[in-house]
A and B are shown apart, each in its own frame.
Chain A
Amino acid sequence: MKNRLRELRVASGWTQANLADELDVSRQTINALETGRYDPSLPLAFALARLFEQPIEAIFEDDQPAVEHAKRRSETTVH
């Protein structure tokens, strides 16, 4: 999942280690989040949103286009 974590972290003047301490996770986790190799759990996403005072959707970008999502929903709906 694409996100603005690195941008927000740098804007706050934090290293990955600083941000990791703020969230009580490892630096490795912050790195994996920033590189899009790990999607956070909901509690971690909310913790990030609280910390940066931004809504979750302003930090994380949904990779799945809305049209594709709607199409998939209509395919799986039982008539």
Chain B
Amino acid sequence: MHDGVMTSNLDTKNSSRGDKARAKKYLVEFLPAMLAYVVVLLLVVVFGDLTSNKPSRIIWALLPIVPLVAVVWAVVRHLHRIDQFQSQLMYQSLSIGFVGAVAAAVTIGFLEIAKVNVPLAGWMIFAAGMLSWVLGNAILLQRKS
């Protein structure tokens, strides 16, 4: 009985110190970048006047790329920090996300050839990719860990 209690204490699912440190570093780098992205998006929507004919609209439309680079940088650094098993899961789920985005792009492409107007096609492809990535990640986590 005593041994059983001890064993169950050793089977706790608490995060390791390394896991916590890695998660903290990722949040410290990712959250400000994501926050900056959201702020820039809001600025673009409120002040960008993207539907006008002003040349500045192109600068406004491209402005979100700046914080997006910081988001990508944070994700890439995180990929370098995680271990082999986690990166294997991450690359597999990213592959699923890529397939989801490509499938959406091809579908929308065919719909446009058939003269069906797909509103916000770029955003639809983005959403399909992200959704496939998140779902793929959840399924892989469930199966492998």
Contact = CB atoms under 8 A, between A and B. Distances in A.
Given A32-B85, A32-B144, A26 B18 contact: yes
A13 interface: yes
A27 B7 contact: no
Interface in B127-145: 143-145
B86 interface: yes
A28 interface: yes
Interface in A1-57: 9-10, 13-18, 20-21, 24-29, 31-33, 37-38, 41, 44
B52 interface: no
Interface residues of A, number: 23
11 contacts: A13-B10, A15-B10, A16-B12, A16-B13, A17-B19, A20-B16, A21-B17, A29-B83, A33-B85, A38-B144, A41-B84
A37 B13 CA distance: 17
If over half of B's interface residues share one DSSP class (helix, strand or loop), that class is named, otherwise mixed; here it is helix
If over half of A's interface residues share one DSSP class (helix, strand or loop), that class is named, otherwise mixed; here it is helix
B14 A28 contact: no
A60 to B, nearest CB: 15
Contacts of A28: 19, 85-86, 145
Contacts of B85: 25-26, 28-29, 32-33, 38
Contact of B12 (A17, A25, A29): A17
Contacts of A18: 16
